[in-house]
Amino acid sequence: MSRAARVVFEHVSKRYPGTAEGSGAVDDLSLEVPAGTTCVLVGPSGCGKTTTLKLVNRLIEPTSGRILVGDRDVAGRDPIVLRREIGYVIQQVGLFPHQTVGQNVETVPRLLGWDSGRRRARTDELLELVGLPAARYRDRYPAALSGGERQRVGVARALAADPPVLLMDEPFGAVDPLVRERLQNELLSIQEGLAKTILFVTHDIDEAIKMGDRVAVLEGGGRLAQFGTPDEILANPASDFVARFVGADRGLKRLALARVGDLQPADVTIAHPGDSAADARARVVADPFPYLLLLYADGQPIGWIGGKDVPGDGELAESMAVSASPLLDRHTTLKDALSMLLASSVQAGIVVDRRGAYQGIVTADMITERMRPAAESRS
């Protein structure tokens, strides 16, 4: 079951008789989501994006048209069997409050009749994958978790039986912006490893651009206004509706499409507490970038020391460093990175890996440099 499967909509309509436009109807939708890619359905409320999602696992039946998962028409399949092959994550999470985190995660494996040893191993593996140490979280009840932790469990539960397709309905809509950002980045890195076919619903164009390999913009009445890569949609909106929906700052939004990982981080003078100050001073003075970055032994940044503030003798100490730089990871978008840099006094962000260890730095100049060729070619 682990191979991703494409999802195809062929002239799919869902009408709700006697209701006005904006009721979640879908009008003659045709699109294909290639296997292993993420398609974000985005649009104003009532545009039918959630309906579209629920048509895939047959929580809602279409009025007309055909939906394929893999090469099979979902209409011909037992909905219960079908749903066990499709992961599902919703905004309110919908964890079972009477079951522990572990029991929640193993829901679909249990329904599929896996033996308990295999279920347990899978549950622990998934909890680790979503960043919740199994030993600490497995036996807790959902009520004892924060919103972000619950949503992580929701994602683990959806992935439990290794479904080829994942449906996500505003999965990060109910958590605060900081947690949302983290969860988005985590999902992106999980998806890098798993390559599921994901259908992701949001009303937030920024989230759509960030999460989607392709974006389907839906307008009122459930019509598909545009379907393309995020860059295509930002660069060439197909209609006034799309242009208005993506917003006047779509140039800036294109910044959101590139990530810190796309840049080659620059090197900077580094040293560790206890190193010879004289030696460090000599190195930083020789460097055009006049700041010394102090790191712990495991590579985690402590902070900056201005080149002139590095003493001429003795040893470097933690207390000399001023911690003033934003930390960036390779999934941070250039837009966020630039925005963080503009607000910081050092004008350089420290790129760290998953364990928080120093990789290099990124400056505002590097980011604008990266966007310039694209901007010039379009003018």
Residues that bind another protein (CB under 8 A): 57, 59, 80-84, 86, 88, 90, 92-99, 107-108, 111, 140-141, 143-144, 157, 167
Q: How far is the CB of 116 from another protein (least distance, A)?
A: 16
Our CB check for another protein shows the closer of 162 and 309 to be: 162
Q: How far is the CB of 160 from another protein (least distance, A)?
A: 9
Q: How far is the CB of 159 from another protein (least distance, A)?
A: 12
Our CB check for another protein shows the closer of 81 and 285 to be: 81
Q: How far is the CB of 151 from another protein (least distance, A)?
A: 12
Our CB check for another protein shows the closer of 104 and 191 to be: 104
Our CB check for another protein shows the closer of 16 and 96 to be: 96
Our CB check for another protein shows the closer of 161 and 208 to be: 161
Q: How far is the CB of 59 from another protein (least distance, A)?
A: 6
Our CB check for another protein shows the closer of 99 and 189 to be: 99
Our CB check for another protein shows the closer of 109 and 307 to be: 109
Distance CA 56, CA 76 (A): 12
Q: How far is the CB of 61 from another protein (least distance, A)?
A: 13
Q: How far is the CB of 15 from another protein (least distance, A)?
A: 22
Our CB check for another protein shows the closer of 144 and 375 to be: 144
Q: How far is the CB of 56 from another protein (least distance, A)?
A: 10
Burial-class residue 200 by CB neighbours within 10 Å (0-12, 13-18, 19+).
Answer: buried
